[in-house]
């Protein structure tokens, strides 16, 4: 809508913004209101800061401070129950970390999890979203059914799945027909990770489906109609219109998916029961279970914090790579 401003400009208070830069309204272009506008701008800035203050405080106290504290602890031999014994050891925790085969096993599992689960859940959730975005009956029921697993406790879902994948259970018996061993998957060093991935994907797909449905509804129908007129078939419309049009949402799903998959914990804890986290025999250990064990089970907070810092760097780097790749493809 035309509102008296040049194309692409937005008015905010007494300023006009265009592509990130604002055009200051001086006495020349405002008719001598400099003093008044300056005061108003200051007032608005103060009000703005006051409004964001709670969120900023929250972020500082609950996010920034713990993150900085974790980084600082990672340079210490640190036991928070006996602070008098804490000593600065420089990079020793990191050196130890990169000499620890269990850390590399955990890291390998985390990457495997991300490499398999993220594409799988993205494709599945996209496919379901496309299906449920079409003209089908009981659409709301199906959408709710797909979303419900996401709001159920991960512990409960995992225990529920264990009864399907127990030795002789319906799922393990079915896979035995396909040549796999008929064992309890969650207790097998060979199948525990696959079990974990199945449970995780089943639970997460509904959430990403909702995000995809939201994006699909934003794609203008005119594009499909025009493509139809031009003779494009359903597959072509999907790949040439839908996929490019929801590209940004797909990037979001991939980033969220990656971060969440790196942080999987509850399902592993439920599988491990009273055994060490990552049971059986470390087959489901990840970076998060590794750092939790070191920090809390073994009270080696410095070492656990070093692992947490490495996990943060990995997630940060991968997110940055994805962001850069996304921008380039734009």
Partner 1 sequence: MKKVLALLLALLMVSALAACGQDGKESSTPSSGTDNSSISGAADESQASTGDTVTIRMGGWGNFADEHEPGTVGMEEAIGVKVEFQKYPTDAAFWDNLPAQIAAKTAPEFIALSNELYLPYINDGLIIPISKYIDDGTITCWDSIGDNVKDIWTIDGEVYGIPFYQTPAVFAVNMDLWNEAGLTEADFPETWDDVLDVCRVFKDELGMTGLCFNTQEFHFTQYCLSFGGGWGLGKTIDTPENAAALQFIINAYHQGYVVTPKELGVGYDGNVVMSGDAAMSTGGTWYVNDFKKNAPDVEVKYLTIPHAEGKDDVSGTFHAPCYALLKGGAHEKEAAMAINYMMNDSHDEALIDIGYIPVNSDLFDTFKERQPELAGLVDAVSKSNGFGYPPAGKKFADALISKMEEALFNSDSTVTGSQIVKELQEEYGE
Binding site for partner 1 (CB under 8 A): 43, 46-47, 50-51, 53-54, 57-58, 61, 79-83, 159, 162-163, 166-167, 181, 183-184, 186-190, 273-276, 279-282, 293, 296-299
Structure tokens, 294 = 């070191």
Beta strands 87-88; 76-77: pairing state: antiparallel
Contact in structure between 166 and 184 (CB atoms under 8 Å): yes
Q: Which is nearer to partner 1, 166 or 252 (CB)?
A: 166
Shortest reach from residue 11's CB to partner 1, in Å: 19
Q: Which is nearer to partner 1, 164 or 251 (CB)?
A: 164
Residue 295 neighbours by CB under 8 Å, 6+ apart: 301, 303, 304, 305, 308
Shortest reach from residue 85's CB to partner 1, in Å: 8
Strands laid side by side in the 21-23 sheet: 9-12, 15-18, 21-23
Q: Which is nearer to partner 1, 16 or 180 (CB)?
A: 180
Integer Cα distance of 318 and 102 in angstroms: 22
Shortest reach from residue 326's CB to partner 1, in Å: 34
Q: Which is nearer to partner 1, 184 or 267 (CB)?
A: 184
Q: Sign of dihedral through CA atoms 308, 309, 313, 316?
A: positive
Shortest reach from residue 43's CB to partner 1, in Å: 6
Q: What is the 3-state secondary structure (H, E, C) of 90-146?
A: CCHHHHHHCCCHHHHHHHHHHHHHHHHHHHHHHHHHHHHHHHHHCCCCCHHHHHHHH
Q: Which is nearer to partner 1, 242 or 294 (CB)?
A: 294
Q: Which is nearer to partner 1, 81 or 229 (CB)?
A: 81
Shortest reach from residue 127's CB to partner 1, in Å: 31
Shortest reach from residue 102's CB to partner 1, in Å: 9
Integer Cα distance of 128 and 206 in angstroms: 9
């Amino acid at each position: 809508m035309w509102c008296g401003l040049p194309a692409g400009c937005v008015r905010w208070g007494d300023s006009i913004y265009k592509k990130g830069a604002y055009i200051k309204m001086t006495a020349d272009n405002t008719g001598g209101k400099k003093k008044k506008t300056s005061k108003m701008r200051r007032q608005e800035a103060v009000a703005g800061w006051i409004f964001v203050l709670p969120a900023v405080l929250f972020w500082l106290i609950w996010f920034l401070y713990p993150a900085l504290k974790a980084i600082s602890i990672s340079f210490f031999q640190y036991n928070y129950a006996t602070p008098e014994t804490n000593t600065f050891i420089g990079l020793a925790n990191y050196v130890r970390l990169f000499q620890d085969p269990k850390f590399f096993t955990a890291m390998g599992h985390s990457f495997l999890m991300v490499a398999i689960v993220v594409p799988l859940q993205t494709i599945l959730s996209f496919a379901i979203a496309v299906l449920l975005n079409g003209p089908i009956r009981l659409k709301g029921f199906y959408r709710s059914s797909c979303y419900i697993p996401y709001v159920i406790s991960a512990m409960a879902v995992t225990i529920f799945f264990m009864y399907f994948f127990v030795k002789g259970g319906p799922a393990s018996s079915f896979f035995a027909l396909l040549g796999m061993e008929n064992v309890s998957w969650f207790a097998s060093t060979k199948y525990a990770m696959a079990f974990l991935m199945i449970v995780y994907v089943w639970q997460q797909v509904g959430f990403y489906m909702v995000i995809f449905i939201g994006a699909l509804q934003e794609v203008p129908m005119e594009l499909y109609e025009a493509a139809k007129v031009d003779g494009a078939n359903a597959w072509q419309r999907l790949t040439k219109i839908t996929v490019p049009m929801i590209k940004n949402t797909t990037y979001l799903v991939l980033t969220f998916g990656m971060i969440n998959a790196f942080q999987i914990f509850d399902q592993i804890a439920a599988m491990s029961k009273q055994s060490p986290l990552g049971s059986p025999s470390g087959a489901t250990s990840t970076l998060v279970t590794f750092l939790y064990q070191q920090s809390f089970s073994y009270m080696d907070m410095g070492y656990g914090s070093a692992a947490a810092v490495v996990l943060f760097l990995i997630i940060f780097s991968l997110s940055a790579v994805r962001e850069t790749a996304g921008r380039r493809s734009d």
